[in-house]
């Protein structure tokens, strides 16, 4: 007899400053959709709660997206609507986007003291010294933290932000939805010439490792 699917909740406390609708966020924030749908295709029952200035509900490709407005003061977790929704969904595990929402994670841990909480790094950086104590408490309330590469966790560990009981997982970030298009149109739009020519968009810093990209292109040329 097959076991029932895992019931997971993905939770994002980040509020869009541009106040876009839920429909538009699902278009513009492709990773919000990709991460949820990837888990759903693996047989996990997925619901998503996204902080939003405009409340709403969208069902798409087997995933329910609930957009909930946080209170004027305080955490989204403290709102009656959130608690009611959480009780209704009754998740077995909660996947939280971002490491910088210590207040919300601490409040959530008080509401669900035994539910596993997984925090996912989204290019977060260790905070300034005076905020580290609060971040440490938020991460300590979690069961695990995921990074694209385990090396990215080292700086957090070095600064005392990753307690020993919090397990570190290595999970690659979702990619873009880029697909091949018309080559002549792309050359005209970018003004790039060459055979081949490559446009790579990213910060030219050590974290993005542009030299590795150049090394990959060189290997492909050979």
pLDDT digits (tens, 9 = 90+) for 31-45: 899 999 999 998 999
Are residue 190 and residue 121 in the same domain, yes or no? no
Whether 109 shows a pLDDT value over 90: the answer reads yes
**Does residue 2 lie in a domain region?**
no
Are residue 38 and residue 99 in the same domain, yes or no? yes
pLDDT (mean) for 74-94:
92
Contact present, 120 and 97 (Cβ < 8 Å): yes
**Does residue 176 lie in a domain region?**
no
The CATH number of whichever domain residue 62 belongs to comes to: 3.40.50.2000
pTM: 0.83
**Does residue 81 lie in a domain region?**
yes
Are residue 201 and residue 143 in the same domain, yes or no? no
The total domain count for the chain is 2
| Integer Cα distance of 35 and 42 in angstroms | 11
CA 195 to the chain's CA centroid: 36
pLDDT tier at 1 (50, 70, 90 boundaries)?
low
Domain containing residue 211: 183-221
Are residue 96 and residue 197 in the same domain, yes or no? no
Report pLDDT digits (tens) over 112-136.
999 999 999 988 888 888 888 889 9
């Amino acid at each position: 007899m097959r076991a029932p699917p895992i019931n997971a909740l993905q939770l994002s406390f980040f509020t869009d400053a541009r106040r876009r609708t839920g429909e538009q966020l699902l278009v513009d924030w492709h990773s919000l959709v990709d991460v949820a749908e990837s888990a759903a295709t693996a047989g996990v029952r997925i619901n998503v709660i996204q902080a939003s200035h405009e409340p709403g509900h969208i069902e798409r490709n087997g995933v329910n997206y609930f957009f909930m407005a946080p209170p004027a003061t305080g955490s989204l977790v403290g709102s009656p609507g959130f608690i009611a929704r959480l009780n209704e969904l009754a998740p077995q595990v909660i996947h939280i986007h971002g490491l910088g929402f210590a207040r919300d994670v601490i409040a959530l841990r008080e509401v669900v003291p035994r539910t596993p909480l997984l925090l996912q790094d989204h290019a977060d950086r260790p905070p300034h010294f005076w905020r580290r104590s609060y971040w440490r408490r938020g991460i300590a309330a979690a069961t695990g933290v995921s990074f694209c590469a385990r090396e990215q966790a080292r700086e957090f560990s070095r600064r005392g932000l990753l307690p020993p009981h919090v397990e570190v997982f290595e999970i690659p970030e979702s990619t873009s939805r880029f697909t091949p298009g018309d080559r002549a149109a792309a050359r005209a739009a970018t003004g790039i010439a060459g055979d081949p020519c490559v446009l790579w968009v990213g910060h030219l810093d050590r974290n993005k490792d542009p030299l590795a990209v150049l090394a990959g292109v060189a290997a492909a040329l050979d």
